[in-house]
Structure 1
């Protein structure tokens, strides 16, 4: 698993994002709650709450436990590309097509058609496999819709170098941008890298804290201007 090869994002995400909001939002005290839940049962690996400049409650969430499959997909694609099975598909199609075409006396069917079928099979297999991987990436990012917050973050235990010349990593960034999700990574050097900043959402009715089961305790802590770090 990638989580054993790279530093763990959960060991760095909380301190990084606390510092991030202290700088970006001038937040004096940031409440950090780990492994929280919404009232609808959706789990978040981390919740950050603080009073912004106009004294409104600002809520941000971070998710990383469900991102392990994403790291595996990106690392494997960076190292190996698509699976080698896609080379077996055209070979099988070539042999099968040749055997079928051999029943015909026409040279075009015997020598041309099998190769056309094999080449088509290779590209169709490659296209389908890559689309399957993209769908898995899209599903992971879309799952963050369940999190009700001003800003949402996705943290991945993976080196930022894995994003270079990696079309699936570029696709992940596009999906995060589409959903307004921030993306941070941490690799073997234990350095958090900001890959994508989140898009801030404004709640039209009250604040987003009302969606979380720990709403009352968090409100009380914020009203007392204390800093909590819930394990």
Structure 2
């Protein structure tokens, strides 16, 4: 029997988000574009543009470029946790500290053994904290790339099962980081079903609208606003 693989988020996210905004806004005219560049050259894998309920232009961006890296990090942590190097370090420090205390300082066993255990445990805990912080820093760096392609709402699409988020502290931290940044998260797993993990927070553009950041601004405005845009222009 062939091994069932995770589905690719790029095969499902566009239709899912298009239907999402049609149902949410009651507007069937949602323009979907792929690989749209900002005027600075950064790429959004998907751009959804439509006229909102307030008759203003609304755009949402989809990001899947870093999906393999994020999915691999969360899945690996789910299966294996942190690296086993921590245990090797614990044993190495334990043996080294004991030998140093016994041979160099000529301490008694009842002093050398507890001192070695305390030192090895401290190294183990410190290694654990630093490794987890490093992994969180890596995820934060990948999420911060979304700032380069601004939109009213931003989505992160991941090719991984939603079950990976269960009992997975790293995945929980990742969702919390997305929530602070206002990023929505969707996943697709082996059954090719898109799961909404988290809704995005609608952001406010300080000047004009977010479409002004994109190279295809004029084309998209004409396509979405039509006569309204032409009259203003």
Normalised TM-score (structure 2)? 0.91
Once superposed, what is the RMSD of the aligned Cα atoms? 1.4
C-alpha distance in 1 between matches for 2:97 and 2:226 = 76
In 2, Cα distance between the equivalents of 1:208 and 1:44? Answer: 13
Give the 4+ runs in structure 1 shifted more than 6 A.
Answer: none
CA distance in 2 between partners of 1:77 and 1:141 (Å)? 18
Relative to 1, partners in 2 of residues 1:28 and 1:118: Cα closer, same or farther, differing over 3 Å?
same
Picking from 130, 136, 147, the partner of 2:132 is 130
Q: State how far apart, in whole Å, the 2-side matches of 1:27 and 1:41 are.
A: 30
Tell me the TM-score normalised to structure 1 length.
0.92
CA shift, 1:36, in A, is 0.8
Number of residue equivalences = 222
Q: Deviations over 1:11-31 (max 9, x none)?
A: 000000000000111122111
In the TM superposition, residue 212 of structure 1 has moved relative to its aligned partner by: 0.3
Residue of structure 2 equivalent to 1:229: none
Contact 1:60 1:153 in 2 (8 A): yes
Corresponding position of 2:14: 14
Residue ranges of structure 2 left out of the alignment (5+ in a row): 228-233
Tell me the equivalent position of 2:151: 149
Secondary structure at the residue paired with 2:197? strand
State the partner residue of 1:228: none
Shift of 1:216: 1.1
Match of 1:57 in 2: 57
Which whole-Å CA distance do the structure 1 matches of 2:75 and 2:113 have between them? Answer: 40
Once the two structures are overlaid, the 10-residue window that deviates more, 107-116 or 191-200, is 107-116
Cα distance in 1 for residues equivalent to 2:125 and 2:52? 52
Once the two structures are superposed, the pairs formed by residues 185-224 of structure 1 within 5 Å of their partners are 185-224=187-226
Is the CA contact 2:62–2:156 (under 8 Å) kept in the aligned structure 1? yes
Pairs within 5 Å for 1:76-155: 76-102=76-102, 103-107=104-108, 108-155=110-157
Partner secondary structure for residue 175 of structure 2: helix
Q: Distance in 1 between matches of 2:85 and 2:51?
A: 53
Specify every segment of 5 or more residues in structure 1 that has no aligned partner in the other structure, as ranges.
226-231
- Asked whether 1:75 is paired with 2:69, we answer no
Identify the match of residue 177 of structure 1 among 176, 179, 198: 179
